[in-house]
Amino acid sequence: MSTCLAAILLTAIASVTAETDFTQYVNVFQGTTGGGNRFPGVVAAPFAMAKLGPDVQSGTTDAYSGYLPSGNIWGFSMMHESGTGGAPKYGVVSQMPVIGNVSNPLADLSQERASADQAKVGYYKASLKTDVVVELAASEHAGLYQYTFPKASTPCVVVDVSHVLPSFRGLGWEQHYSKGNISILPDGHYEGSGTYNNGWNLSPDWNIYFCGKFNQKPSTSKTFKGTGTGTTLASYDTTNSVSGTERLGAVFSFKDTNVTSRVGISYISSVNACQHLDKEIPATTSLQSLVDRARSTWNTRVLSKIQTSSTNATDLQLLYSSLFGMFLIPSNLTGENPGWTSSEPYYSDVFTLWDTHRSHTPLFHILEPVVYEEFIRSLIDIWRHDGFMPDARSSNYNGRVQGGSNADNVLADAYVKGVRGAINWADGFSAMVTDAETTPPNNHDPKAPDSSTKEGRGALPDWIKYGYITPAFTRAVSRAVEYSANDFGLYQVAKGLGKSAEAQKYLERSRNWRNHWNPDCTSNNHSGFVVPRRANGSFIEQDPLSCGGCYWGDAYYEDNPWVYSMNALHDVATLKKYIGGDAKFVDRINKLFDLKIFNAGNEPGFTSPYLYNFVSGMQHMSVKRSRDIGKLYNSGTGGLPGNSDAGAMESNILWQMIGLWPLTGQTTFLILSPWFSQMTIDLGSGKSLKISSTGGNKDTAFYVQSLQVNGKAWDKAWVTWQDVFANGGTMDFVLGPSPANWTTGELPPSLAAGDA
Ligand SMILES: *[C@@H]1O[C@H](CO)[C@@H](O)[C@H](O)[C@H]1NC(C)=O
Ligand SMILES: *[C@@H]1O[C@H](CO)[C@@H](O)[C@H](O)[C@H]1NC(C)=O
Ligand SMILES: *[C@@H]1O[C@H](CO)[C@@H](O)[C@H](O)[C@H]1NC(C)=O
Ligand SMILES: *[C@@H]1O[C@H](CO)[C@@H](O)[C@H](O)[C@H]1NC(C)=O
Ligand SMILES: *[C@@H]1O[C@H](CO)[C@@H](O)[C@H](O)[C@H]1NC(C)=O
Ligand SMILES: *[C@@H]1O[C@H](CO)[C@@H](O)[C@H](O)[C@H]1NC(C)=O
Ligand SMILES: *[C@@H]1O[C@H](CO)[C@@H](O)[C@H](O)[C@H]1NC(C)=O
Ligand SMILES: *[C@@H]1O[C@H](CO)[C@@H](O)[C@H](O)[C@H]1NC(C)=O
């Protein structure tokens, strides 16, 4: 081989393997307004513990992720959650740059912005009215703040341990600062911890430890302690170490106007916080090198997993912004678990499996199989040590539960799709049995005092005694529908483990949604809805268009009987029969749209638009709904049709682009219509799913004319995990402008049907 040819070959290989920078398509501000609650700050790697960003005040608006587009910045803090609701969580380990000697560090030090914040993957920049520019970058457990103060100013950094995101909604879910401490060491660095409680999961006191270092020895450093927020002078402490329940912190001033501040965090100790800092962001680290590392990590670990032939920037921005938004939480806290020591992985900041189990966790599994297996192990380890798997978890504490115990659905989904690895499935099933058999202690939640909102299934006593849930329990009907799906999950795993008696028991229990079905309840030419039911067996009169307040104390949570009556997804054949056959079933799905009941921004209805696939020849209607839902999304700040809900909303649009919809707990994927002429999904271990389409146009010619799966003609409106994901596969679509009657084959399975 001539050296010349070798050089050409090397160039060719380099151009193939050179990483495409998919972060160029990510708008980190996607879904940050209009109730999306996405976090736009720095998350250096998927699932990183450190989430560094601004905390903004704007009247009495809750800043769930810390960020709001307008308002004053009152600190930059190390911990946030993305896409949560209820009330803000975290916003702790903060600091605030201030010019001049700070006479009262307890006063309002917030600053207006000089211009809109700028950010990209791994980088955040805020320009304050004081002419201080703040640039942020991070690693997994540490952050770097690069401050550029105006020339000839006296640069100051205030570390306020009492800083925590407030809530103004009056729901009783606001966070509180409980106590703290901080010590300034002789070399100028500082260490300490803060203790906080409450938030949306009603957690008791939890601690976070920090370790902060600067690029220069501070010219002055003073601790402070005091109460209130007024303009009265705070007393600076004469010692280098303060602790207590008062507000406290430290103020540092510097000579050089370029100040670099590095902070490590840990749930375990300030020693660990310093170790994280020194290991991940050693003193000489440049901001740019952290930004480069974050970009490369996101490209390699997440963004490159889905590649398309598209050159349409609008579509690529939506694809990659959504993909990025899916993996900001949960947080991988392995090695950072303050609750117990274990060789198992540990993940927290789960918000909430109630939101994510339909479309997020099945895509999480496909795109991040290694993390997903660790996540499942962590759910089981939480059960080992805390007694129950979480439906949601934050600051290392379970809560809150909105409906069923949806970890059961998630475990079942993993089990039926062959996730094994290091998972102890005997324990996994035991954890599910705990949900199904052990009533969790009542945590006396004022919003729902009847039973636990912390974990497990609070309404289990009725479920076991009656096979339905009476109004003695709040959210009785929506919980019953979800408990049915949870029990179906137990059936699936029991069957797989060869536990036939348990399998039979839970299969029967999974049909209990039928006990809430009142065939005589009518609405808009339809009869038969799930309704509240008394202990004596009689149904309670119910308008299917109403869910009362749709909240914690009502019979249905966040959606009405029309929606919950479509959610027996493991028993659709029975549902169709109850509703009155194929034509009525199709009309009922149509009515969800015609009567404007369907809300694309709320998870309980996520699957309803695609249930047309359970009727021969009607798959085109699912495609039409899919395209209509797609129009509600974009990559802009208001581009999510509802709260991100920890990426649930983003996962939904990604499935529309792929052209499939998962049925969690089953191996079934309903077929929709792909957006792109080519898409490759990297399944890991060298496997991939390649989806192609010809003759189509995303907006005008999207109806399926024909399909080949793995090279064979396909007449079913569904595929299984085994068909296209287990070993990879191909799906080749022909699309066109009008519907074609191609789904003439076998209907998707209804595994719990029978014995109706
Ligand atoms: C700030 O305090 C330092 C130390 O007490 C003092 O030297 C300096 O003049 C003060 N600067 C201003 C702007 O007040
Ligand atoms: C600071 O608070 C933490 C958590 O309460 C505690 O473990 C630690 O001992 C305290 N340190 C000092 C110096 O008071
Ligand atoms: C201070 O930071 C600015 C902005 O990053 C940079 O342009 C300037 O060179 C720095 N000055 C010094 C003295 O390092
Ligand atoms: C790119 O996609 C957007 C949104 O899907 C569409 O409106 C636009 O027409 C497309 N642009 C081109 C050049 O095809
Ligand atoms: C989770 O975090 C631990 C500790 O940092 C790390 O060893 C592990 O590889 C992480 N898991 C994944 C899947 O990245
Ligand atoms: C109900 O059915 C009647 C008779 O078929 C029809 O006239 C009416 O429009 C229907 N109403 C709705 C809401 O579908
Ligand atoms: C059940 O209780 C309701 C309300 O007390 C009552 O109206 C109804 O007649 C009872 N039905 C039966 C079958 O006892
Ligand atoms: C689709 O084709 C099947 C089989 O040829 C036929 O039975 C069915 O009626 C057709 N459905 C529609 C909606 O045209």
**Is the pTM above the cut of 0.85?**
yes
Do 66 and 29 fall into the same domain?
no
* Same domain as 716, residue 634: yes
Please spell the DSSP secondary structure of 31-89, one letter per residue.
T-STT-----SB--STT-S--BEEEEE-TT---TTS--SSSEEEEEEEE--SS--SS--
SS3 of residue 194 by DSSP = strand
- Return d(Cα 497, Cα 494) in angstroms, integer: 5
Of 471, 492, 516, the residue that ends a domain is 516
Query: Amino acid identity, residue 167?
Result: S
530-543 mean pLDDT: 98
Ligand nearest to the CA of 267: 2
Which tokens sit at 659? Answer: 């052209």
* CATH number of the domain that residue 183 is part of: 2.70.98.10
Does residue 256 lie in a domain region?
yes
pLDDT tens per residue across span 641-695: 999 999 999 999 999 999 999 999 999 999 999 999 999 999 999 999 999 999 9
Ligand number, closest to the Cα atom of 134: 3
The pLDDT of residue 16: 41
Q: Confirm whether 584 is domain-assigned.
A: no
Whether 674 maps to a domain, the answer reads yes
Pocket of ligand 2 (CB under 6 A): 181, 183, 193, 195, 207, 243
* Residue 15: predicted pLDDT: 41
The whole-number pLDDT of residue 233 equals 56
Q: What is the rounded average pLDDT of the residues 298-306?
A: 98
Is there a single domain that holds both residue 244 and residue 353?
Answer: no
Ligand 3 atom nearest the C-alpha of 148 is 2
Which atom of ligand 3 lies closest to the CA of 256? 13
* Residue 548, in any domain of the structure: no
Q: Is the pLDDT of residue 149 over 60?
A: yes
Residue 229 is predicted with a pLDDT of 74
Q: CB burial class (10 A; 0-12, 13-18, 19+) of residue 381?
A: buried
Q: What is the CATH number of the domain that holds 699?
A: 3.30.2080.10
* 190-198 vs 526-530, strand pairing mode: unpaired
Tell whether the model's pLDDT for residue 306 goes beyond 60: yes
Best of 161, 190, 240, 243 to mutate for ligand 2, by most ligand atoms within 8 A of CB? 243
Tell me the per-residue pLDDT of 170-216, one tens digit each, with 9 for 90 and over: 999 999 999 999 999 999 999 999 999 999 999 999 999 999 999 99
Instruction: Please tell me if the CB atom of residue 100 comes closer than 6 angstroms to any atom of ligand 1.
Output: yes
- Please check whether residues 252 and 359 belong to one and the same domain: no
Same-domain pairing of 45 and 29: no
pLDDT band at 234 (very low <50, low <70, confident <90, very high): low
Residue 133 lies in a domain: yes
In angstroms, rounded to a whole number, what is the distance separating the alpha carbons of residues 204 and 201?
Answer: 9
User: What token pair was written down for 227?
Assistant: 């109460």
| Residues 91 and 211 grouped into a single domain | yes
Categorize the per-residue pLDDT at 754 as very low, low, confident or very high, splitting at 50, 70 and 90: confident
Q: Is residue 277 domain-resident?
A: yes
Does 143 lie in the same domain as 64? yes
For residues 172 and 121, membership in a common domain is answered with yes
Q: Which atom of ligand 6 lies closest to the CA of 595?
A: 13
Q: Are 340 and 384 found together in one domain?
A: yes
Domain contains 583: no
Q: 380 and 279, same structural domain?
A: no
DSSP collapsed to 3 states, 237-298: CCCCEEEECCEEEEEEECCCCEEEEEEEEECCCHHHHHHHHHHHCCCCCCHHHHHHHHHHHH
Domain count, the chain: 3
Given 484, 516, 548, the domain boundary residue is: 516
CA 618 / ligand 8 centre spacing (Å): 9
- Whether residue 144 is predicted with pLDDT greater than 50 in this model: the reply is yes
- Determine, yes or no, domain membership for 572: no
Domain stop point among 516, 535, 566: 516
User: What are the tens digits of pLDDT across the range 463-502?
Assistant: 999 999 999 999 999 999 999 999 999 999 999 999 999 9
Contacts by 507-511, CB closer than 8 A, 24 or more apart: 507/752, 508/755, 509/436, 509/463, 509/467, 509/483, 509/484, 510/484, 510/485, 510/570, 510/571, 510/752, 511/484, 511/571, 511/574, 511/752, 511/755, 511/756
Specify the pLDDT at position 101: 87
Query: For residue 302, what pLDDT is reported?
Result: 98
The answer on pLDDT for 442 being more than 70 is yes
Can you give the residue range of the structural domain that contains 67? 41-297
Measured in Å, residue 656 CA sits from the centre of ligand 2 at: 50
For a substitution probing ligand 4, which of 310, 315, 322 has the most ligand atoms within 8 Å of its CB? Answer: 315
Strand partners, 307: 680
pLDDT of residue 755: 67
Q: What is the CATH number of the domain that holds 473?
A: 1.20.1050.60
- On whether both 277 and 334 belong to a single domain, the answer is no
Same structural domain, 31 and 174? no
Residue 230 confidence (pLDDT) above 90:
no
Atom of ligand 3 nearest to the CA of 258: 1
**Structure confidence at residue 578 (pLDDT):** 98
CA of 742 to the centre of ligand 8 (A): 8
**Cα 101 to averaged position of ligand 1 atoms, centre (Å):** 6
